[in-house]
Amino acid sequence: MTTLLNKDTLTHLDALEAEAIHILREVAGQCSNPVLLFSGGKDSAVLLKLAEKAFRPGRFPFPLMHIDTGHNYPEVITFRDARAAELGERLIVRSVEDSMARGTVVLKTPDESRNKYQSITLLEAIAEFEFNCCIGGARRDEEKARAKERVMSFRDEFGGWDPKNQRPELWSLYNARTHKGENIRAFPISNWTELDVWQYIERESIALPSIYFAHTRPLVRRAGSLVPITDVTPARDGEKIEDVVVRFRTVGDITCTAPVESTASTIAEILAETATTTLTERGATRLDDQQSEAAMEQRKKEGYF
Amino acid sequence: MSANEHLPLADTGLLRFTTCGSVDDGKSTLIGRLLYDSKAILADTLNAIEKTSQRRGMEAVDLSLLTDGLQAEREQGITIDVAYRYFSTGRRKYIIADAPGHEQYTRNMVTAASTADLAIILIDARKGILTQTRRHSAITKLMNVPHAVLAINKMDLVDYDQAVFDRISAEYREFAKQIGLEDVQIIPMSALNGDMIVERGDRLDWYTGPTLMEFLEAAPLAHSEVPEAFRFPVQFVCTADGNDYRGFMGRVESGAISIGDAVKILPNGLSSTVKSIDLGGRELQRAVAGQSVSIQLADQIDISRGDMLTSADEQPRIEKQIEADVCWLSETPLDTSRKYIVRHTARETRAMVAGIAYRLDINTLEKHEGAKLSMNDIGRVSFKLQLPLAIDSYAVNRATGAFVVIDETTNNTVGAGMVL
């Protein structure tokens, strides 16, 4: 019998890392055809590092997949492709624009955000490849509706999430069983906070797209948010375009991701800001969640990640 | 100001705790207070709840709004599921599993307690020990949560009277002794005013014990208190092209293992020694409970997912029939004529019910014979298993003594079992 020594106590990052590796291996052990969703964002960059820790020297027991809205920052796409090539793992890209061409995504107006339509393209890709588990980088601290999300979250044939009908999850005995057509969304970093993610990125020297660090960008100030001016998000009449030093805290579709003013150009500086920040990660930077307090819950019920 | 001044100090790990009590006991306010006073709440969240508080005509900010979750719950005004919250003090990271207190939600508390290192049982100082207090305490004991706090809240509503605290404490200690719940820390507090949560306040001077936060910061972490035998369920077998690497991947569930240690492989009973241990490409001399690693053995032995590497000296039992306390989680009652799947560590086996000895009334701890198990019931059930499992008693090892029951037709998780 062994008594652990004081020095054997895991730090919080060690404990979170061990839990995430355990979850990834459960996915590999239980699911016949999983996929890891890789957007090029910081949370999915962390997932890739954890997958390396879980499965190397072997290959990943799943491909990587990105659902591309066609409105991504080019720095993120460059990073995505470089990282997949470096790992030597297969990257699948499926595009919302293909769904639009097929007619399965119909925008209400040409400049409507495509972000929510990723759900449709994701479900089409799940059907195409018959994936029965999608591994994602969502965290419970991101948003109220996620606080009750399971680590292995069951979705029915329509990709729907029913908050009242989720499988109980006890100990670390995850249940990823599915029937044909159903699937599991697995969230290995459920229990991480934004600060944990940045601390881990620093500890493991994880590379990120350049837009996470301070840079100068043309933008306008609109309704309390900083809105970057790009081809798909032009300035409106009467708005004043400014060059501002900013960084992104989350990345996603250009039309719904806003940066914050910051001069943090290293991970250490970002960590310092994160530890003292006064706004939640999504509060200032996700233009889509602010619509209503229940906005995220509604999107999740419709199959959003 | 350097970056590091803001960061957590050399940290003392991760503590998971659960809070049991009802909305009436001020549980949401307690959690809100912990988050608020440990500065885990950011400005936009606070603005939102300030607005809501004003809209509802309240004078102070209603901290309980912080833990309000889903739409349905907001509509009903009660918590319907386990919600997870996070905060960090700089020394420790905390995960709160917040379970609702109403009677019909026993299964939620069982779920929340299953991963908890510590349980906070909340009571209203005006009401004292209620049926639900007994239920929460019994579940804390049943789930073998290592540490417990009885939080006597709303002391502000009894004029911070020590006599009230003493009376409730004495009664609770008597009850806790009866059910075998040891070492319960009893703390008087007012979550509303913030007394004895993070700050001591100046209204409970007669109390000399720790504040809730002091107690949380000092609580021993899992696996650190009593000697444990090495248990390592194999989750995945790693082979790499082009070399002869054959790693058994899993998490050390208890104890520790070093290179050169003798191990038994269960259920086949073969022996070998540890050749290498690695974590993400980094070679380790030793791995300890909680770590996810990859282990190579000195001998070529056929091992697959669901097998277990264990200490050579202290092995679990190999059983094809198990007796357990089972909490039923599903709206469809346990059907003794059906077959189920039992998932234990990384192994699944088909199982049938050999018998239900009794159903336990969790409020009175009375045993009812000849019973069936419906949702939220707890009972003593024996199962016959198709494949053998390597098990320890749940009282000794929460990882290798626990299992879930899965309905083969719906794939739902329908029961939670603790092996005797």
Q: List chain A domain ranges.
A: 12-196+294-301, 209-290
Residue labelled with tokens 């006064």: A278
DSSP code string of A281-297: HHHHHBTTGGG-TTHHH
Chain B contact set for A7 (CB, 8 A): none
Question: In angstroms, rounded to a whole number, what is the distance separating the alpha carbons of residues B41 and B87?
Answer: 9
Which ipTM value was assigned to this complex? 0.92
Q: How many helices (H) and strands (E) does chain A have?
A: 9, 10
Q: Does A205 touch chain B (CB under 8 A)?
A: no
DSSP code string of B102-114: SGGGHHHHHHHHH
Fold of B317-419: Elongation Factor Tu (Ef-tu); domain 3 (2.40.30)
Among residues A135, A168, A119, A109, the alpha carbon closest in space to that of A26 is found at A135
DSSP code string of A198-236: HHHHHHHT----GGGS-EEEEEEEETTEEEE--SSSPPP
Domain limits, chain B: 3-218, 231-311, 317-419
Chain B contact set for A15 (CB, 8 A): 13-14, 290
Task: State the greatest distance between any 2 C-alpha atoms of chain A, in Å, as a whole number.
Answer: 74
- The residue length of chain B stands at 420
Average pLDDT per 10 consecutive residues for chain B, totaling 420 residues: 41 89 79 79 62 68 60 46 84 88 77 95 94 92 96 97 98 95 94 93 96 94 87 94 89 97 96 96 94 97 97 96 96 94 98 95 88 91 97 96 96 97
Question: In angstroms, rounded to a whole number, what is the distance separating the alpha carbons of residues B420 and B380?
Answer: 9
**What phi and psi values does residue A88 have, to the nearest 5 degrees?**
70, 25
Question: In angstroms, rounded to a whole number, what is the distance separating the alpha carbons of residues B29 and B27?
Answer: 5
Among residues A141, A268, A123, the alpha carbon closest in space to that of A203 is found at A268
Question: In angstroms, rounded to a whole number, what is the distance separating the alpha carbons of residues B106 and B20?
Answer: 10
* Collapsed DSSP state (helix, strand, coil) of residue B252: coil
| Residues of chain A scoring pLDDT < 70 | 1-7, 144, 163-164, 276-305
Paired residues of B231 in beta bridges: B254, B310
Q: State whether B7 and A190 contact (CB < 8 Å).
A: no
Query: CB under 8 Å to B231, separation ≥6 — which residues?
Result: B252, B253, B254, B255, B308, B310, B311, B316, B392, B397, B399, B400
Intra-chain end-to-end CA distance of chain A, in Å? 44
The DSSP code for A28 is: H
Query: CB under 8 Å to A28, separation ≥6 — which residues?
Result: A34, A54, A55, A61, A62, B235, B236
Question: In angstroms, rounded to a whole number, what is the distance separating the alpha carbons of residues A104 and B266?
Answer: 52
Q: Which two tokens stand for residue A137?
A: 């980088």
Paired residues of B238 in beta bridges: B247
Paired residues of B18 in beta bridges: B97, B119
Per-residue pLDDT, B382: 97
- What is the chain B residue with the closest CA to A298? B71
Contact between residue B132 and residue B168 where contact means Cβ atoms under 8 Å apart: no
A124: enclosing H helix or E strand = helix A118-129
Q: Does A269 touch chain B (CB under 8 A)?
A: yes
The DSSP code for B334 is: P
Per-residue pLDDT, B79: 42
Top residue of A149, A170, A177, A277 to mutate, by most chain B CBs within 10 Å, is A170
Query: CB under 8 Å to B311, separation ≥6 — which residues?
Result: A1, B229, B230, B231, B255, B263, B264
Contact between residue B347 and residue B318 where contact means Cβ atoms under 8 Å apart: no
A49: enclosing H helix or E strand = helix A42-55
- What is the chain B residue with the closest CA to A49? B280
| β pairing state of B282-284 and B184-188 | unpaired
pLDDT, tens digit, 9 for 90 and up, residues A123-158: 999 999 999 999 999 999 887 677 888 999 999 888
Q: State whether A9 and B12 contact (CB < 8 Å).
A: yes
Does B3-218 match B231-311 in CATH topology? no
Rg (CA), chain B: 24
Top residue of B217, B223, B235, B394 to mutate, by most chain A CBs within 10 Å, is B235
Class of domain A12-196+294-301: alpha beta
Q: State whether B256 and A172 contact (CB < 8 Å).
A: no
Contact between residue B256 and residue B282 where contact means Cβ atoms under 8 Å apart: no
> Could you name the CATH architecture of B3-218?
3-Layer(aba) Sandwich (3.40)
Q: State whether A279 and B402 contact (CB < 8 Å).
A: no
Residue labelled with tokens 């993120």: A76
List Cβ<8 Å contacts ≥24 apart for B198-203: B198/B33, B198/B34, B198/B37, B198/B38, B199/B37, B203/B155, B203/B156, B203/B160
Q: Which two tokens stand for residue B261?
A: 């240690």
Query: CB under 8 Å to B159, separation ≥6 — which residues?
Result: none
- What is the chain A residue with the closest CA to B412? A167
Per-residue pLDDT, A23: 98
pTM: 0.91
As a CATH number, domain B231-311 is 2.40.30.10
- What is the chain B residue with the closest CA to A170? B111
Question: In angstroms, rounded to a whole number, what is the distance separating the alpha carbons of residues B45 and A238?
Answer: 31
Question: In angstroms, rounded to a whole number, what is the distance separating the alpha carbons of residues B230 and B237?
Answer: 19
| β pairing state of B147-153 and B118-124 | parallel
Burial A62-83, CB ≥16 within 10 A → b, else e: bbbbbbbbebbbebbbebbeeb
